[in-house]
Amino acid sequence: MHRRRAVHAAGLGLIGALALAGCASDPQPAGEAWKQARTQLDEAESVRLSTAYTTGRQGPSVVTWDIAGTLDGGNATSTATMGVGEDSRMVVDTRTVGEDVYARVSTEGEDVPAQVRAAYGDDGWKRLPADQAQAQANPLRTELDRIALPAADALEGADVEPEEVELQDGHAQRYAVPADVAGAAQAAAGEGEPVRVRSFTVDEDGSLVGLQVEAANALQQYELSDWNAIDPAEVPEEVSE
């Protein structure tokens, strides 16, 4: 009898544990999820941001941009890559170390157009003049400041059902931002041309991993990772003035 009771109790314990595990994996309400995400953004020391957009200055071309650094400026790396041929790319690297900004433009591939190779051949790292350096000093904050982020409590009570999405290392929840909330944040941002947030994505731990914004009637996706785990940028070994 005691043995049967013990087995029965163990079974109930297992069922309870599974039930608790199921509850733990339930997605947060939109208000809680955004409050945690916004707090993470506001309190972060550093992060990696990756995005891509299409430029049409010389025909449609996709530009990918990866920025990593501190949110208060003074230290960052960035890499912008743009297709210039069938299988060729132009790559612009920058490093911000203190008040100095270093840049390098290079090309990759076999079919780089002659005019592009002539204009943007790899001349190595150069330290930018002071006026250009000031404009490039904090690319991460500059990019984030373009986004009209809703206030931390802006989605409190919002009737938003999250959509489960797949990540490389697990699952995540994507929440749509109601149009009135996004519009109010955009109006409050005021100056410039702030872009409105269409949705945000958090991983299983509630960490912000994605923002989808609307810019010039086109959607743009930002991926965020490596929160507070960015190695400081260093001055390149060889620099020409």
Q: If you average pLDDT over residues 73-88, what whole number do you get?
A: 87
Q: How far apart are CA 24 and CA 43, in angstroms?
A: 25
- Are 183 and 166 part of one and the same domain? yes
In a domain, 4, yes or no: no
- Domain boundaries, position 159: 29-44+145-225
How confident is the prediction for the chain on average, in pLDDT? 84
pLDDT at 16 over 50: no
CB atoms within 10 A of CB 65: 18
Q: What is the pTM of this model?
A: 0.82
Q: How far apart are CA 16 and CA 188, in angstroms?
A: 47
Q: How far apart are CA 214 and CA 179, in angstroms?
A: 11
The total of structural domains in the chain comes to 2
pLDDT at 58 over 70: no
- CA–chain centroid gap for 77, Å, is 14
Percent of the chain with pLDDT over 90: 55
In a domain, 19, yes or no: no
- What are the tens digits of pLDDT across the range 209-237? 999 999 877 889 999 999 999 999 999 99
In a domain, 3, yes or no: no
pLDDT at 184 over 60: yes
